[in-house]
């Protein structure tokens, strides 16, 4: 799920001013029953995809509202055009759409308008991982999606930007607990099982 800056910005008008933002990355404090309820109702839409056009935006907006009520100012920064988190958010957006390309930290830092050291520090604070680790997770998640659709491990590895099939297999098994071919077979078996009502 992506964080929509326009939705956050509109919701900020309906909330009181926050306490001063902390220097930590994004964190939620005091997970409340209303927050869990909003998340649950949004996820329920996955069971009824035909309801998403009518209800999806309202449930997403409610979840963002509940998150804003419980955050320490970090989520609010995303709505501000030139905040550190907003600039990191832009870099993350670029990474999401270019995960299969070679990663150059200097280029990402330039996109965020930060020095290399500052970018790296703020990226890690916001995501709890380095840009390279973040890219690896994006690649492996996309590879898993491709494998579920009957793509071979080698083809999936190449399509997401891996040059070494053996490195891909090691990274995949480390993240998902099984080698690519075995995990793909398991995922396909689970998705083909009939659902009992």
81-98 pLDDT, tens digit per residue, is 667 777 888 899 899 999
Q: What is the pLDDT of residue 29?
A: 60
- Mean pLDDT score of the chain: 84
Q: Judge if 152 and 121 occupy the same domain.
A: no
Give domain status of residue 101, yes or no.
yes
Longest dimension (CA), the chain: 55
Residue bearing the bigger pLDDT, 191 or 180: 180
Helix-helix angle 105-112:84-97, to 10 degrees: 130
Mean pLDDT of 156-163: 95
71: left (phi over 0), alpha (psi -120 to 50) or beta: beta
Give domain status of residue 197, yes or no.
no
> Side-chain half-sphere of 18: how many Cα atoms within 13 Å?
17
Nearest to 42 by CA among 7, 14, 12: 7
Dist CA 148 CA 96 (whole Å)? 20
Q: Judge if 142 and 176 occupy the same domain.
A: yes
- 94-125 pLDDT tens trace: 999 999 999 999 999 999 999 999 999 989 98
Residue bearing the bigger pLDDT, 98 or 67: 98
Look at the chain and report how many structural domains it folds into.
3
The token duo for 171 is: 């990274």
pLDDT higher than threshold 60 for residue 21? no
Q: Which domain holds residue 97?
A: 84-128
């Amino acid at each position: 799920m992506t964080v929509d800056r326009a939705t956050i910005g509109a919701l900020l008008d309906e909330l009181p001013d926050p306490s001063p933002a902390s220097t930590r990355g994004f964190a939620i404090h005091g997970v409340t029953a209303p927050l869990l309820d909003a998340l649950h109702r949004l996820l329920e839409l996955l069971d009824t995809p035909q309801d998403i056009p009518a209800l999806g935006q309202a449930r997403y907006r409610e979840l963002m509202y509940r998150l804003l009520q419980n955050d320490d100012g970090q989520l609010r920064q995303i709505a501000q055009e030139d905040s550190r988190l907003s600039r990191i958010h832009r870099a993350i957006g670029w990474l999401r759409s270019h995960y299969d390309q070679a990663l150059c930290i200097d280029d990402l830092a330039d996109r965020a308008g930060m020095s290399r050291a500052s970018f790296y520090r703020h990226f890690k604070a916001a995501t709890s991982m380095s840009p390279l680790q973040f890219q690896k997770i994006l690649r492996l998640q996309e590879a898993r999606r491709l494998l579920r659709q009957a793509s071979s491990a080698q083809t999936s590895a190449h399509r997401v930007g891996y040059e070494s099939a053996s490195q891909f297999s090691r990274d995949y098994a480390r993240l998902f607990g099984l080698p690519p071919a075995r995990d793909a077979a398991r995922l396909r078996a689970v998705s083909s099982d009939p659902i009992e009502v």
